[in-house]
Amino acid sequence: MRKITELSLEKYKEYLYEEEKSAATVNKYINDLNKLKKFADGKELTKSLIISYKEYLQADCCYKTSSINSFLAAANCFFEFMEWFDLRVKTIRVQKQVFTPAGRDLSKEEYKRLVKVAEKTGKTRLAMIIQALCAMGIRVSELEFITVNSVKDGVVKVYCKGKERQVLIPKALRVKILYYIHKNRISYGTVFCTNSGKPVDRSNIWREMKSLCGEAEVEDGKVFPHNLRHLFAKTFYHACKDIAKLAGILGHNSIETTRIYVMATSNEYQKQLDNMDLVINT
């Protein structure tokens, strides 16, 4: 009988680690599969049940299409691992957007206000982290590669998704981090750590960033670590218009992924349409 059991999930988890998937990816796959397990409620997995699950996610849940597709992709990967190939279902086809919703992007002015409030309220580490994420365009998970030695060298070697890439530290940021290292008497290893000595994680930074919103007068929905990476991407692209180089800096395998980062907002797109002068006034 084909069911998702704790034993099969444990074996699959072990397989994912052997495939060198990151801890975050492994946890997401397992969490997504637990959604399917809960939906199945002890029943045997059949193609009709998986189709019902897909319909349930679309009709009865408030998930975005991209989230639903990620749940289905996780299920399909598990089915392949278990050799239950007949259970695989198609993901939902989505036409690529040509613009992003207005009001979601963080502006450079808002970013600067967040940093200033962090500094003003004595959250020096947070202020440095926000600037490192935005000025270098790195992911939160890549903060741990900013070490004392890498700052002294001015180049950070980042290992992510099975690849190594080198990320330059802007000169002004390097000076600030070196001062931070000296002031906090950090002699070696990762620069941005918790009080227990572990590298800071996404949840810590997310929570601390949200606490700045009120005084910085920035909408809560705009303030999350990955939006700083988007701001870096847009600023870099507007400066040089080289999407291939930007893809390399961000560590993307595909330029199509990078295009999402530099997409115009709906307001910008609307302005372009209005300036085309293709409506005839009679």
Q: Coil, strand or helix: which one is 120? A: helix
pLDDT bin (cut points 50, 70, 90) of residue 61 is confident
Region class of 192: left (phi > 0), else alpha (psi between -120 and 50), else beta: beta
The pLDDT > 70 percentage for the chain reads 96
pTM of the model: 0.68
Is 191 a residue whose pLDDT tops 90? yes
Helix/strand number for the chain, H first, E second: 14, 4
Encoded amino acid at 228, one letter: L
Rounded Cα distance, 252 and 247, in Å: 5
If one compares 54 and 270, the residue with the highest pLDDT of the two is 54
The rounded mean pLDDT for the chain is: 90
Res 20: pLDDT: 84
**For residue 126, what are the contacts with CB-CB under 8 A and spacing of at least 6?**
118, 205, 208, 209, 212
Contact criterion met (CB below 8 Å) for 252 and 161: no
